[in-house]
Amino acid sequence: MTNMINPATISRPDFAAIAAWIRPGAKVLDLGCGDGSLLHYLQERRDIFGYGVEIDDDNVLGCFKNGINIIQNDLESGLSSFESASFDYVILSQTLQAMRHTEIIIKEMLRVGREVIVSFPNFGYWKNRIQVVSGHMPVSETLPYHWFNTPNIHLCTLGDFEALCDQQNAHILERIVMNGDRQVKILPNLMGVLAFYRFERRG
Residues that bind another protein (CB under 8 A): 1-2, 27, 49, 51, 57, 60-61, 63-65, 67, 69-73, 80-83, 86
10 touches 41 (CB < 8 A): yes
Q: What letter would DSSP give residue 44?
A: H
β-strand 194-201 against 113-121: which pairing, if any? antiparallel
Please state, in angstroms and rounded to a whole number, the distance separating the CA atoms of residues 1 and 177: 37
Pick between residue 71 and residue 104 the one whose CB is nearest to another protein: 71
Nearer to another protein, 66 or 94 (CB): 66
Shortest Å distance, C-beta 193 to another protein: 34
Task: Of 88, 165, 153, give the one whose Cα is nearest residue 121.
Answer: 153
Q: Which lies closer to another protein via its Cβ, residue 85 or residue 173?
A: 85
The least CB distance from residue 156 to another protein, in Å, is 30
Count, residues in the chain: 203
Residue among 13 and 78 whose Cβ is closer to another protein: 78
CB of 68 to another protein, least distance (A): 8
Tell which residue, 167, 149, 31, has the closest CA to residue 87: 31
Q: How far is the CB of 81 from another protein (least distance, A)?
A: 5
Q: Which is nearer to another protein, 83 or 141 (CB)?
A: 83
Closest CA to 32 of 123, 105, 125: 105
| Shortest Å distance, C-beta 112 to another protein | 11
Residue 49: which H helix or E strand, with range? strand 49-54
